[in-house]
Amino acid sequence: MTERSGQAGDATGGPAPTTPVCYRHPGRETYVRCTRCDRPICPECMRDASVGHQCPECVSEGRRSVRPARTAFGGGAAGRQGYVTKTLIALNVLVMVLSIASDRGGDAAAGGSGFGGLMGGSTPLTNWGAVLGYAPYVAFGEPHGVAAGEWYRLATAMFLHYGLVHLLLNMWALWVLGRNLEAVLGPLRFLALYLIAGLGGNVAVYLFSAPNQPAVGASTAIFGLFAAIFVILRRLGRDTSAIVPILVINLIFTFTVPGISVAGHLGGLVVGALMALVLAYAPRMRRTAFQVAGGTILLVALLGLILVRTATLTG
């Protein structure tokens, strides 16, 4: 037997094959490769894929190329967390605290005339932000109100309440309705629905209530949510029998309980229904553009009504 000497090699006489190493960790040998880019990856770099494993870079690139999940009406999946609903409730509670603090020794929290005295009374903050058509605070004083240029009242009124009972009733309804609608519509569309419905209700108060009768409350927006959830359920082909009795009961309260703004509730109901129709029946191909255009048309229509009423009160 003869002895051979020389460089180590394989059976064919070539150099011995080298063991692959992870492209991110050169000191780690591996025989696993990314199913997408075919680079060697160690166990630390492996990411489970539908077939085999992928490297971190390919996973990140795949995530960027995947379109985010959308609801049936174009909203984002973040609406399932209810962030807008929770923020609106927190804002209303904060404003209630400020309203009570602004009333030194008064009946801001309770002791007013509504619901057997359980409702609170007006405060300096509600006087400042309530929907008021055109009237002085005192006899022969300077006129205040929307017609006097205080247009902000049409927005601020939906975040003010006469007492804790008034606040709690509205916030309970917002919690129940808001989370469901936000999950279906997405945060931005739900917020647009809430604000436009609330504004629509306050514009109705401005149009149809006595100019010297103030009104506050989130119920203008809440009634818009009642109408919206009915429209959304119908659009999805779901049963609406559960929401109809609740809506009817609230309408009965609207017409029978003293001190409730009928115009505000009905205005929010109508405008909320119109905005919900825009959101629910927008064509899929140009959904966002159609929804934005529909919301804008509603806002322009409300602006026109405000200008007509202002001209009537100040003319």
Question: Mind listing the pLDDT tens digit for each residue in 5-62?
Answer: 444 445 555 555 577 888 888 888 888 888 888 888 888 888 887 777 888 888 887 7
Q: Is residue 26 included in any domain, yes or no?
A: yes
Tell me: do 29 and 101 sit in the same domain. Answer: no
CA 174/CA 64 separation, integer angstroms: 35
| 287-314 and 187-208 helices, crossing angle to 10° | 20
Identify residue 294 by its one-letter amino acid code: G
Residues in contact with 302: Cβ distance below 8 Å, sequence separation at least 6, in sequence order: 199, 200, 203, 271
Asked whether residue 62 is assigned to any structural domain, the reply reads no
Instruction: Specify the pTM.
Output: 0.76
Considering the domain boundaries, does residue 11 fall inside one? Answer: no
Of all residues in the chain, the percent with pLDDT exceeding 70 is 83
Does the pLDDT of residue 4 top 60, yes or no? no
- Which of 99, 122, 209, 219 is an active site residue? 219
Specify the pLDDT at position 95: 94
Are 82 and 30 found together in one domain? no
In this prediction, residue 109 has a pLDDT band, given cuts at 50, 70 and 90, of low
Residues 171-201: pLDDT tens digits?
999 999 999 999 899 999 999 999 999 999 9
Asked if residue 269 belongs to a domain, the reply is yes
Measured torsion, CA atoms of residues 244, 249, 252, 256, in degrees rounded to the nearest 10: -170
Give the relative orientation of helices 243-256 and 219-235 as an angle to the nearest 10 degrees: 150
CA-to-CA distance for 110 and 13, rounded, in angstroms? 98
Evaluate whether residue 1 is within a structural domain: no
How far apart CA 222 and CA 170 sit, in angstroms, is: 7
Kindly state whether residues 191 and 43 are assigned to the same domain: no
Structural domain count, the chain: 2
Mean pLDDT across the chain: 84
Asked if residue 154 and residue 102 are part of one domain, the reply reads yes
Element (H, E) at 47: strand 47-48
Q: Which CATH number covers residue 223?
A: 1.20.1540.10
Residue 261 bears catalytic tag: no
pLDDT score recorded for residue 68: 57
93 in any annotated domain: yes
The CB density around residue 3, as the number of other CB atoms within 10 Å, is 4
Confidence of residue 88 (pLDDT cuts 50, 70, 90): very high
Tell me if 218 sits within 8 A of 166, measured CB to CB.
no
Tell me which residue range forms the domain holding 82: 77-314
Q: Is 265 among the residues known to form the active site?
A: yes
Is 186 exposed, middle or buried, given 0-12, 13-18 or 19+ CB atoms closer than 10 A?
buried
Counting beta carbons within 10 angstroms of the beta carbon of residue 213, is it exposed (0 to 12), middle (13 to 18) or buried (19 or more)?
Answer: middle
Domain presence at residue 132: yes
Q: Residue 268: is its pLDDT beyond 70?
A: yes
Q: What pairs with residue 143 in β-bridges?
A: 136
**What are the tokens at 276?**
């919900």
Domain identity same for 38 and 140: no
Segment holding 143, helix H or strand E: strand 143-144
Which residues are within 8 A (CB) of 2 and not within 5 positions of it... i.e. 6 or more apart?
Answer: none
Q: Alpha carbon of 122 to those of 109, 111, 113: distances in Å?
A: 9, 11, 11
Beta strand pairing call for 143-144 and 53-54: unpaired
Residue 276 lies inside a defined structural domain of this protein: yes
Identify whether residues 247 and 205 lie together within a single domain.
Answer: yes
Q: Name the catalytic one among 144, 161, 166, 265.
A: 265
